């Protein structure tokens, strides 16, 4: 997030609002269900903003410098954690750019109810992967109560009209004057406190609905069968399991019933079965996803060059598999997988693009995934809306000098005297003679780069 200062500076002011009444129970939901997904610092930011709300459900206007002092962290950290809260649906941000300094509104959103969270189809899967089976079962137990079979009970609840009676005309106000009429309406500039539906957003762009509808027979699956609920389920299942539009067509055709209705639960089960058949794993994680078919450029093309072979390789494997291939088949480090999943979740980068990022950063940082460096480049690619492997490689070539300066800045912060040993991806096609390294060191680095390329070629050719 190298450009956070373009979006936000310490003197910019903000107001905290709530989209509805936040209950103490919501605090438990955010603490136990959301915190494992967003991390402790984003959780702290949400709770700090919540604490600034007064009894009128709207906090006082203040500066971001004040927030930095309270949280004891940098503005860059606050900005990045705010993006996590926005992405998962806990905060909506608005800004008035006509003011100087700018004025932000941070509107806190209520979390999903436990029922919606555990049946969401995306968040519950990620939580399971993050906390493990035992903790997940305990959380389900904590947020549920024993059910009661009401079949043996008879309802005796009275209705409204059983208890209350209508007012007779002679008992009503004889004349509804202007003052009485105005009393019934809320004055301008005010709005009632409510409780808006809890949600988080997945953009339609993550799934090619045009391609999906183009391949469906109107007689088999009429467009009216794809209701808003079904459409949302399709987006979530595509995001979670990496299902492309053509494969999704088959799943929908399998679950549509004779009345032309689509059962969302049946569609979810079909997607899970498909995933387990394809991947042989119990549950997916972001790092096991592969590049969507709609965002591949080498699907129907036979690669002729080494670069085209690499593009197809990046398009057809998951980031997790790439990390394993780079390490010679060994299981990737948990810390590396966590970093990659955070980048994919927060920046919404496609898996193939993340593969390019991994390959580039590892060669630039002595075969290590530097968190700050990865997040910085990922943020840049997200703002540039990079969606394909080819676009990522082209942008890396174009911005190679800038990315190297970021790496150098990081090196200066960590040590007083740094001698960088950079390797470059073959596809970057840079002039190696420009590097300030000794001849022997140059040969050694070139040898390492070739060894890595050869190692990856073995997997590409399998």
Instruction: Encode pLDDT of 114-139 as tens digits.
Output: 998 998 888 888 898 888 889 999 99
> Using an 8 Å Cβ cutoff, are 323 and 358 in contact?
yes
Identify the pLDDT of residue 164.
74
240: nearest Cα among 291, 284, 292: 284
Provide CB contacts within 8 A for 280, sequence distance 6+: none
Residue 401 has pLDDT above 60, yes or no: yes
Residue 438 has pLDDT above 90, yes or no: no
Low-confidence winner among 2-6, 229-233, 243-247 (lowest mean pLDDT) = 2-6
pTM of the model: 0.55
Question: pLDDT by residue (tens digit) across 257-275?
Answer: 888 889 888 998 888 888 7
Identify the pLDDT of residue 343.
83
Give the integer Cα–Cα distance in Å for 201 and 192: 24
In terms of pLDDT, which residue wins out, 431 or 222? 222
> Using an 8 Å Cβ cutoff, are 420 and 442 in contact?
no
Residue 431 has pLDDT above 60, yes or no: no
Question: pLDDT by residue (tens digit) across 209-225?
Answer: 888 888 777 667 888 88
Give the integer Cα–Cα distance in Å for 110 and 18: 8
Mean pLDDT of the chain: 79
Question: pLDDT by residue (tens digit) across 24-72?
Answer: 899 999 999 999 999 999 999 999 999 988 655 677 899 999 999 999 9
Question: pLDDT by residue (tens digit) across 165-207?
Answer: 665 555 555 555 555 556 656 666 666 555 565 566 666 667 8
Identify the pLDDT of residue 191.
60
If you search the block for the tokens 């394809």, which residue do you land on? 278
Residue 143 has pLDDT above 70, yes or no: yes
For the chain, the three-class secondary structure string (H helix, E strand, C coil) is CCCHHHHCCCCCEEEEEECECCCHHHHHHHHHHHHHHHCHHHHHHHHHHHHCCCCCCECCCEEHHHHHHHHCCCHHHHHHHHHHHHHCCCEEEEEECCCCCCEEEEEECCCCCHHHHHCCCCHHHHHHHHHCHHHHHHHHHHCCCCCCCHHHCCCCCCCHHHHCCCCCHHHCCCCCCHHHHHHCCCCCCCCCCCECCCCCCCCHHHCCHHHHHHCCCCCCCCHHHCCHHHHHHHHHHHHHHCCCHHHHHHHHHHHECCCCCECHHHHHHHHHHHHHHHHCCCCCCHHHCCCCHHHCCCCCCCCCCHHHHHHHHHHHCCHHHHHHHHCCCCCCCHHHHHHHHHHHHHHCCCHHHHHHHHHHHHHHCCCCCCHHHHHHHHHHHHHCCCCCHHHHHHHHHHCHHHHHHHHHHHHHHHCCCCCCCCCCCHHHCCCHHHCCCCHHHHHHHHHHHHHHHHHHHHHHCC
In terms of pLDDT, which residue wins out, 430 or 190? 190
């Amino acid at each position: 997030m190298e450009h956070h200062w373009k979006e936000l500076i310490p003197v910019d002011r903000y107001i905290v609002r709530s989209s509805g009444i936040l209950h103490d129970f919501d605090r438990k939901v955010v603490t136990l269900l959301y915190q494992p997904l967003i991390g402790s610092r984003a959780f702290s930011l949400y709770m700090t903003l919540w604490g600034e709300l007064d009894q009128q459900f709207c906090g006082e206007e203040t500066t971001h410098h004040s927030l930095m002092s309270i949280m004891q962290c940098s503005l860059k950290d606050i900005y990045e954690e705010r993006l996590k809260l926005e992405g998962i649906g806990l905060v909506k941000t608005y800004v008035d750019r006509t003011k100087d300094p700018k004025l932000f509104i941070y509107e806190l959103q209520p979390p999903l109810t436990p029922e919606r969270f555990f049946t969401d189809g995306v968040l519950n899967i990620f939580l399971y992967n993050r906390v493990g089976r035992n903790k997940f079962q305990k959380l389900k137990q904590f947020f549920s109560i024993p059910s009661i079979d009401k079949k043996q009970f008879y309802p005796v609840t009275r209705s409204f009209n059983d208890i209350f009676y209508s007012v007779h005309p002679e008992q009503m106000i004889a004349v509804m004057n202007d003052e009485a009429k105005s009393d019934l309406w809320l004055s301008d500039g005010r709005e009632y406190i409510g409780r808006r539906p809890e949600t988080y957003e997945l953009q339609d762009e993550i799934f090619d609905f045009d391609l999906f509808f183009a391949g469906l027979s109107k007689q088999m699956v009429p467009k009216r069968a794809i209701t808003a609920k079904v459409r949302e389920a399709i987006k979530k299942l595509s995001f979670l399991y990496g299902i492309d539009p053509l494969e999704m067509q088959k799943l929908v055709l399998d679950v549509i019933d004779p009345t032309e209705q689509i059962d969302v639960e049946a569609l979810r089960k079909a997607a899970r079965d498909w995933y387990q058949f394809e991947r042989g794993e119990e549950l997916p994680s972001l790092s096991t996803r592969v590049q969507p078919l709609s965002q591949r450029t080498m699907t129907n093309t036979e690669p002729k060059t080494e670069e085209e072979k690499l593009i197809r390789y990046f398009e057809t494997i998951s980031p997790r598999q790439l990390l394993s291939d780079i390490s010679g088949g060994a299981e990737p480090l948990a810390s590396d997988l966590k970093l990659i999943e955070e980048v994919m979740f927060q920046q919404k980068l496609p898996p193939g693009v993340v593969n390019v990022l991994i390959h580039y950063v590892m060669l630039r940082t002595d075969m290590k995934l530097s968190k700050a460096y990865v997040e910085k480049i990922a943020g840049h690619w997200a703002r540039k809306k990079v969606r394909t492997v080819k676009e990522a490689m082209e942008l890396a070539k174009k911005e190679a000098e800038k990315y190297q300066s970021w790496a150098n800045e990081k090196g200066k912060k960590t040590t007083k005297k740094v001698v960088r040993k950079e390797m470059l991806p073959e596809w970057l096609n840079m002039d190696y003679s420009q590097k300030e390294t000794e001849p022997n060191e140059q040969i050694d680095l070139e040898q390492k780069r070739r060894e890595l390329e050869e190692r990856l070629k073995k997997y590409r050719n399998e």
